[in-house]
Amino acid sequence: MKIRIIGVPMDLGGDRRGVDMGPSAIRYADLEERLEKIGHKVEDQGDIPVPIPESRIIKDPTAKYLPEIVKANKMLADAVAKAVKDGCFPLVLGGDHSIAVGSLWGVTRVRKNVGILWMDAHGDFNTPETSPSGNVHGMPMAAALGRGRDTLVKNEDPASRVNAMHVVQIGIRDLDPLEKRALRASGVHVFTMHEVDRYGMPAVIEKAMAHFAGCDHIHLSFDMDVIDPDEAPGVGTPVPGGITAREAHLALEMVAETHRISSMDLVEVNPILDERNRTAILATELIESALGRRILE
């Protein structure tokens, strides 16, 4: 494939600083060289400009830095849409998970009938009305389904929105009370850590992919906090009890075998909290697995 890397040093969606350095940390882990080694052609578009929190004022505590996040996501959407039109696989590097809004705006602007595979410790299904923190990185999944503040859900053609029945979440283990209620009623297929532990990752991935039978394209949104913090300590919002690194590789290897993933974002690498860049290195290796690397070629 021809892969176009787009960095988004977004550090506005959460309270903990540092994820703005995620794209650089992943690049430093030899992402481009690794992808070229497995046969892909890679071009790096650089980063979408994002202001730092110190240069802005929080005007709405229920949706912190929302105007700045929306502006950056509009630019990201343009970049992603152009990548798709140019015949490239858009690989978006975060930054916090609020960037998934722009990734999905861009993908669904060009492609219809898109499914979403969302691997995350969190449901990201809050709205300003339900969020205890007002952090927008906890809202992108809801926004993709048309829920939340108008500026997050009305920037694209409503006809391009994702169908909840075409969304699968894996690894979920930390939900706010009102978020839990909304997610349960949404129609989204959720495989919590209970299902992963009970049935095993292979069965969960097989069940997940079966839900995409009616989709023409699948977007993979991978939050590094889906992995247990013992193996991925450098993340924005770590939650104990996650999947192992090997389970993550297996999941992405199985997904790659279907040849149905056509766009991807990877988010929440926080080098400040990391140990010798090990989380960014793991992130790079997982991207390789998602894009076709095998142990025995």
The catalytic residues are 97, 120, 122, 124, 137, 223, 225, 268
Cα–Cα distances (Å) from 182 to 89, 177, 187, 196, 237, in that order, read 32, 9, 10, 22, 21
119's enclosing H/E stretch is strand 114-119
114's enclosing H/E stretch is strand 114-119
Residue 53 CA to residue 81 CA, distance in Å, equals 27
Residue 177 CA to residue 132 CA, distance in Å, equals 9
Residue 270 CA to residue 22 CA, distance in Å, equals 6
Sheet order of strands, 114-119 included: 41-47, 2-8, 89-94, 261-267, 217-223, 114-119, 167-172, 189-192
Residue 221 CA to residue 224 CA, distance in Å, equals 10
Q: Are 267 and 22 in contact (CB under 8 A)?
A: yes
CA proximity to 262, closest of 36, 39, 89, 105: 89
